[in-house]
Amino acid sequence: KFSPYDSDNKIAKFMIENANATYFKNDMILEGGSIHTDGDGTLLTTEQCLLNKNRNPHLSKEKIEENLKDYLGINKIIWLKNGTDEGTDGHVDNIACFVAPGKILALSCSDKQDPFYNKINENLEILKTSVNSKGNVLNIIELEMSYKRLIPNDDEPSSYINFYIANKGIVMPSFDDEKADIRAKDIIQSAFPDRKIITINGIDISKGGGNVHCITQQQPMSL
């Protein structure tokens, strides 16, 4: 979407080969932030992103699901409607994240006047009425957004969901919104009691679009 991106397409292969990891080639366009998996057969994504015609116009929804199941070991896909940012056409990593199989942290919004209220609550309703790969109802932990807009007329909410999960910790964004920042950190810490929570100022990152999860990627372990 943001050309030139020829060099971007080389990064994955470079990292995998340097890590001496096994990989499988697939021609489907799929960014890391467009999916979340629970490691137990369930995947989260949005229709706005994966079905967008600027990604894989030659693939039907059924074929996209087939690819995700074949290459990621998935047998249950939960389709949310819309994300909250236009830059990525609605990546899911800004609105929901698995804590564990069957347990999800999800962005919430209680201000009915907020421009993202309808989108966020539509997604919450889908999550609350969905089941995982085992047929179990999901445990949804709501994580309210900061209502502090970082850029006037910004088209992206200040979402605490956009954090990075490290081996023994969590790196989460903060937004100079003391009350909301503290509340979000407490909720994330409660969801991940065995991990250390590190906060970094997400304001400058957000100005470029997205946040912590958007600019990080786990390095695969060598086999």
Tell whether the model's pLDDT for residue 93 goes beyond 70: yes
Alpha-carbon distances, residue 123 vs 19, 46, 217 (angstroms): 37, 9, 25
Confidence band (pLDDT; 50, 70, 90) for 16? confident
Alpha carbon dihedral 37, 91, 14, 221, in 10-degree steps, equals -20
Q: Mean pLDDT: which of 81-85, 86-90, 98-102 is highest?
A: 98-102
Locate the domains of the chain by residue range: 8-215
Residues in contact with 32: Cβ distance below 8 Å, sequence separation at least 6, in sequence order:
93, 217
Handedness of CA 27, 5, 173, 116 (dihedral sign): negative
pLDDT at 1: 63
Contact in structure between 82 and 157 (CB atoms under 8 Å): no
Tell whether the model's pLDDT for residue 126 goes beyond 80: yes
Contact in structure between 188 and 172 (CB atoms under 8 Å): yes
Confidence band (pLDDT; 50, 70, 90) for 222? low
Summarize pLDDT for 183-219 with one digit per residue, the tens: 999 999 999 999 999 999 998 888 777 899 988 888 7
Pairing of strands 76-80, 42-46: parallel
Residues in contact with 39: Cβ distance below 8 Å, sequence separation at least 6, in sequence order:
98, 101
The fold of the 8-215 domain, in CATH, is L-arginine/glycine Amidinotransferase; Chain A (3.75.10)
Confidence band (pLDDT; 50, 70, 90) for 148? confident
pLDDT at 3: 76
Mind telling me the catalytic residues?
Answer: 214
Straight-line distance from the first to the last Cα atom of the chain, in angstroms, rounded to the nearest whole number: 34
Alpha-carbon gap, residue 41 to 97, rounded angstroms: 14
Alpha-carbon gap, residue 5 to 85, rounded angstroms: 20
Residue 47 corresponds to which tokens in the numbers above?
């229709």
Alpha-carbon gap, residue 88 to 40, rounded angstroms: 26
Alpha-carbon gap, residue 161 to 46, rounded angstroms: 15
Alpha carbon dihedral 204, 216, 40, 122, in 10-degree steps, equals 30
